[in-house]
Structure 1
Amino acid sequence: MKGNTAIAISAGAPEWVEKRRYEHTTEEKKKLNLDNVARDILYKTLDKNMFSKIKTCATAKEIWEKLIQICEGNDETKENKLTVAQQKYESMKMRDGETMEEFDEHFSAVVIELTSLGKEYNNRELALKVMPTLPRECDVKTMAMRESKDLNKLELHDLFANLKAYEFELETRSEAGPLTSQPTKALAATTSEQFSPNTSKSAEQLSNDAMSLFVKKFGKFLRRSYNPSFS
């Protein structure tokens, strides 16, 4: 029974007829106002196509029930949607070039769809589904998480938060790699030059030249000492 109707006698048989506005009680006016607000909110969320399907509904409750029927369908339709969603879940894999943020959105959307259709997975099942779908670069991280964390208590958003942090760490190391390798190469080149045959030969030659010069000067000094007239 609608709140804004009353029994009236027409042609000897009782029937429900809509009350005139001034006949509404205070409580009925409040309910009617709330219904108007709810309908207005629902109308604003619908496009023209969907609005055409519910415009004959008299109350917000009728609109809502009609929308559920349209979106979810009957039992057979629900079953078909669930089958499709489960197939997407089972075939889920991180795509080439996909970031962890994108995979999080992709995976979570499928999980939400399954939940809306009545199929839910616990934390452990979700974690064990995500981990094998990741690239090999994440194997070390996923193995560590399996050993150090209780997967039954690891929420999906926490799982992806850990994976995003690890992805960032890998990217940071990758970017820093070429910079750290340059000094190493320079050091290797310097070391190679220091121990190359040509470099060693030059050093030996310099040592011999210095010794020859010293011997000549020392000989001249001795000759002057024993022969003062030597100039």
Structure 2
Amino acid sequence: MTWSIQTLLSELHDDIQDRLARARKAFGHPGTKGDASESVWLELLETYLPQRYQATSAHVVDSDGTFSEQIDVVVFDRQYSPFIFNFQGQKVIPAESVYGVFEAKQSINAEQVAYARKKVASVRRLHRTSLPIPHAGGTYPAKPLQHIIGGLLTLESDWSPGLGEPLTNALATVGSDDRLDLGCVAAHGIFSCDDDGCGTLKPFGKPATAFLFELIARLQEKATVPMIDVRAYARWLDVDLPA
């Protein structure tokens, strides 16, 4: 048998694209299609991200008691996260533990971009704590809060070409709260935005694999999440439950 890394990387993308396409064809109800697509992206990240990261569908909460909207794909730290809530089959993750949030849809268009931006902003606007970090020789200063990666994951594009000017216009933003930093349109390519704008569109031949690698690279740059102030959450233990 002759090994080929090119074949391995191509097969990874082809598997993701084929599964997304099957989900689109097999299920008639839009909600069921969406759940199936979400599961494909979550399985990709759970399988290939380093084990210090996890990916799940969840709400995000801060120590002020504010919740984000429901997010299709939350990439979060599990090694240093002191708690993850599970309630009635739903996960709730503290804001400090979050590295990235993504919406998973069948197709990208202006409406879905606006929807994803709203979801991403609901996470970025949450309050996050960061404590000084003790070590053997003293204490490191509190880590500055990092930018939470936000994005959109789809199979197809409603535009022609799939990654053209209409997408660039839809991604354009004046602030960072609702910016979509990274996304994948599995049938066409990936897009990437930064402080200089959202004009970088990459029509890779194997977009799902390219997205995975770019996400891992960005996670590596962020290193670890800030040290969470657990006592800021514990103060809610003294608050009476609503009647």
* Shorter-chain TM-score tier: under 0.3
TM-score by length of 2: 0.20
Larger relative contact order (CA 8 Å, sep ≥ 6): 2
Larger radius of gyration: 1
Structure with greater proportional helix content: 1
